[in-house]
Chain A
Amino acid sequence: MDLSVPGGQRRRAATIGFAVGLVLIAGLGVNGVIVARDATTAVTSVERSHSAIESLVEISARLGEARSVRRAYGLTGDVSYRDTFEEEVAMVPKRIASVRALTAEDPKQQHQIAELEPLVADRIARMSEQLATRDALGKDIPLDDAHSLANGQLDEAIRRHTNDLIAREHELLDQREADSSDRSGRATLFFAGSAAIAFVLLLSAFAINRYEIRERERAEAKTAGALAASIALNAELESFSYSVSHDLRTPLRAIDGFSQALLEDCGDKLDEQGKSHLDRVRAGTQRMGVLIDDILALSRVTRSKMELQRFDLSALAAEALAELRETNPEREVEVTIAPDLNVNGDPRLVRIVLDNLLGNAFKFTAKRTKAHIEVGATTEKGERALFVRDDGVGFDPRYAEKLFGAFQRLHDAKEFSGTGIGLATVQRIVHRHGGRIWAISEPDKGATFFFTLPGAEAREEV
C-alpha cells in the first residue's frame, strides 16, 4: 500500500482496507465453522462404521451362543441354560435394529438387513420350538433330516448375509477413514491459512497505525509550532498596543494639562487670540487622545477571543440606550426597540456594535428637536437582518461604500464630532461573526444600518 498519498485518500484507503479485512475475517470464520463441522461428521461416520461392525459380529456370536445353550439344555434340562438362551436371543433383534440405524445411509445394506431379519427370526423361532418340545416331553429329541437340513441352510444364509454386511461396512469404513483424514488435513490447512492471513492483517494494521501515529505527531508538532508563533505574535501585538496606549497618551496629557495650567496661571497675561490658540492646542490634543483610544478599541476587537452565546439583543440595546440618554440628557429622542431579538454572537462585541450604531443615530439626529430611533429585525434576501434606523441628516448614498473604512468621515468634523473609526470597528465585529453590514440613506431623510449575525457559522478573520 502506498502510504505517501494525501490524508483524504489515505483515510478512504484505510476504511476500505478495514472493510476488506473484516469481510475476510468474517468469511474465514463462517468457512471455519463449516470445515470443522465436516471434519467432525467424517470422524463420527467412521465411529458409526466401527459400531455397525461390532453389532454384526455380536449378532453372529449371540446366535452361536444361543445354539450352544439350546443344545446344552436339551441334554441336561438345566434351567440356567434356558435363561441364558432367552437372554441371548432377546439381544439379537436389538442389535439388528442398531445396525439398521447405523447403516441408514446405505440402501444396499438396508436391503441385506431386510433379508437377514426374517432369517434370524425364523432360526430363533425354530430353536424356541425345540425348547418347547423339550419342556413338553421332558427330554430332547433329535431333529429329523429335513429340519436339520433346513436349520443348516438357515445358519449358512445368516452367516453369508452377516459376512456380506461386515465386508460392505469394512469397505465403507476404508472410504470414510480416507475421507476423514482428507477433511482433517484440509481443516488443518484451512486453520493454518486463516491464522496466517489474520497475522498478516494484524501486522498491516499495526504498521499502518504506527505510520498514522507518527504522521499525526509530526502534524501536531507543526500545528503547535504555528500556534506558538501565533501566540507570540499576539503577545507582541498586545504589548505594542499597551505601549501605544500608555506611552502616546502620557505626553498628550502633559500638553493638555500644561496648556490648561497656562490658561489658569497666566491667563491674565494672554489676550483673546493667545487664549484661543491654547484652546486649539487642547482641542487637538484631546482629539488625538480619542483617536488613540479608538484605534486601540479597533485593534482589541480584532484580537480578542470570540465567546459565542445566544442572547437577547433587545436587552443589550436598551442598556446601550440608557447610557446614551445619561450622557445626552438634553436630547429628546423617542426610541423603539423590537422585543425578544434573540441572536447568536459575542455579547461584549455586539454591545460595541450597538454603542456605535445607536451613538451615531443620536449624533446625526442632533439637529432634530424630537428625534426617532428604531431597533428591529427584518428579512433581507432570506436572511434575518437587524437594523438601527434614525431620522437624522442621513448621508449621500453615492458614498455608502466609504462608510465602513477606517478614518472615513462623510460629515464635517466641526459639524459632527468623531474619529471615523466607529463604523470600521462595527464592520470588523460583524465580519468576525460571519455577517454582513450595509446601510441605506438619503440626505436629510435619515439612515438605516442593517447587519446580520449568522453566529453559528462565525468565522475568524485575522
Chain B
Amino acid sequence: MSEKTILLVEDNDDDAELTLRALNKHKLATRIVRARDGIEALELLHGETSLRPDLMLIDLNMPRLDGIGLLRKVRAQPTTRSLPIVILTSSNEDRDVIDGYRLGANSYVRKPVDFLTFSDAVKALGLYWLELNLAPR
C-alpha cells in the first residue's frame, strides 16, 4: 500500500480514539492526523504544513467551526476543493445528511453504537475512497 494520509476532524477524544482504532485495525492509512475542530483543520490545510490528505473524515458537531462550516470552506478553496470528504457523525437527522451532500460531501457514515459495525463501515469507506476511487489531484 502506498503512502496514505487521513485527516480526522473530531472534537470528542473517545470517538477520535475509537475511529483511530478502527482505521489502524484495517491498516487503512500510513499517517493519520487529527484536528479537534474546523479551525484546527483549516490551519493544517492552509497553514505552514499545507497538509494534503488523501481523505478527510469530519464530525458534524464541533466547537468553534463545525463540520458543515468546515465543509463549506474546504469546498470554496481551489486547493482543497476536490479532497474526498466523508462525514462521520452521530446524527442521522435528515437535515444533516441533506446539508452535508448539498455542500459537497462525498459520503456519509453514521457512527453506530456497535463498535464492530462501525469498524466495518470505516473499512469499507477507506477501501472505497483510498483504493478504488482516487480523486484527481
Known: A250-B15, A257-B21. A286 touches B92 (CB 8 A): no
Q: Which residues of A contact B92 (CB under 8 A)?
A: 245
Does the CB pair B93–A289 fall under 8 Å? Answer: no
How does the 8 Å CB contact mask read for B17-54 relative to A, with 1 for contact and 0 for none?
01001000000000000000000000000000000000
Contact across chains for A288 and B90 when beta carbons are under 8 A apart: no
* Bound CA–CA A282/B113 (angstroms): 9
Closest A residue to B116 by beta carbon equals A260
| B128 / chain A contacts, CB cutoff of 8 Å | none
Q: How far is the CA of A252 from the CA of B114 in the complex (A)?
A: 9
Identify A249's interface contact among B18, B93, B113, B116, CB under 8 A: B113
Query: How far, in whole Å, are A459 and B33 apart by their CA atoms in the complex?
Result: 53
Question: Is B90 a contact of A256 with CB atoms below 8 Å?
Answer: no
Taking a contact as CB atoms under 8 Å apart, the answer to whether B114 and A250 are in contact is no
Give the A interface residue count (CB, 8 A).
Answer: 19
By secondary structure, the A interface counts as helix
* Residues of B74-118 whose CB lies within 8 A of A: 89-93, 111-116, 118
> With A and B bound together, what is the CA distance between A7 and B91 in angstroms?
48
In the complex where A245-B91, A254-B15 touch, is A260 in contact with B61 (Cβ < 8 A)? no
Is B113 in contact with A245, judged by CB distance below 8 angstroms?
no
Q: Is the CB of B18 within 8 A of A254?
A: yes
Q: Chain B's interface: helix, strand, loop or mixed, by majority?
A: loop
- Say yes or no for A242: interface residue by CB 8 A criterion: yes
**Are the CB atoms of A289 and B61 closer together than 8 Å?**
no
Beyond A258-B14, A260-B116, A261-B21, is A253–B111 a contact (Cβ under 8 Å)? yes
Contact B115 A256 (CB under 8 A): yes
Contact across chains for B113 and A285 when beta carbons are under 8 A apart: yes
User: Is A12 in the interface zone, CB < 8 Å from B?
Assistant: no
Point out the residues of chain A lying under 8 angstroms from B18, CB to CB.
253-254, 257-258, 261
Is B93 in contact with A242, judged by CB distance below 8 angstroms?
yes
Cβ of A111 under 8 Å from chain B:
no
Question: Are the C-beta atoms of A253 and B90 separated by less than 8 Å?
Answer: yes
- A258 CB to nearest B CB, Å: 7
**A246 at interface (Cβ–Cβ under 8 A)?**
yes
Given contacts A249-B113, A260-B115, A260-B116, contact A254 B93 (CB under 8 A): no
Chain A 418-457: CB-based contact to B (< 8 A → 1; otherwise 0): 0000000000000000000000000000000000000000
Within 8 A of B (CB), among A249-287: 249-250, 252-254, 256-261, 282, 285-286
**From B21, B61, B114, B118, contact of A246 by CB (8 A):** B61
Residues of B within 8 A of A259 (CB): 115
A249 vs B93: C-alpha distance when bound (angstroms):
13
Measured CB to CB, the nearest residue on chain B to A288 is B113
Contact yes or no, B91 A257, CB < 8 A: no
Highest count of chain B CB atoms <10 Å: which of A256, A258, A259: A256
* Residues in B whose Cβ lies below 8 Å from that of A250: 12, 14-15, 90
Given A242-B91, A242-B93, A254–B114 Cβ distance below 8 Å? no
In the complex formed, the residue of A with least CB distance to B61 is A246
Q: Do A249 and B90 form a contact, CB below 8 Å, given A254-B18, A257-B21?
A: yes
Given A250-B15, A254-B14, A261-B21, A286 contacting B90 (CB threshold 8 A): no
Q: Is the CB of B114 within 8 A of A245?
A: no
- Across-interface contacts of B15 in A (CB, < 8 A): 250, 253-254
- Complex Cα distance A246/B113, Å? 11
Which B residues are CB-close (under 8 A) to A285? 113
A435 to B18, CA, bound (A): 46
CA separation between A250 and B113, bound complex, in Å?
8
Residues on the B chain within 8 Å of A253, using CB:
14-15, 18, 90, 111-113, 115, 118
What are 9 A-B contacts defined by CB distance under 8 Å? A246-B91, A249-B90, A249-B111, A253-B15, A256-B113, A259-B115, A286-B113, A286-B114, A289-B114
Q: Which residues of B contact A (CB under 8 A)?
A: 12, 14-15, 18, 21, 61, 89-93, 111-116, 118
Q: Apart from A252-B113, A256-B113, A257-B115, what are 6 other A-B pairs with CB-CB below 8 Å?
A: A249-B113, A250-B15, A253-B14, A253-B112, A258-B18, A286-B114
Chain A to chain B: the 3 pairs with minimum beta-carbon distance, closest first: A289-B113, A254-B14, A257-B18
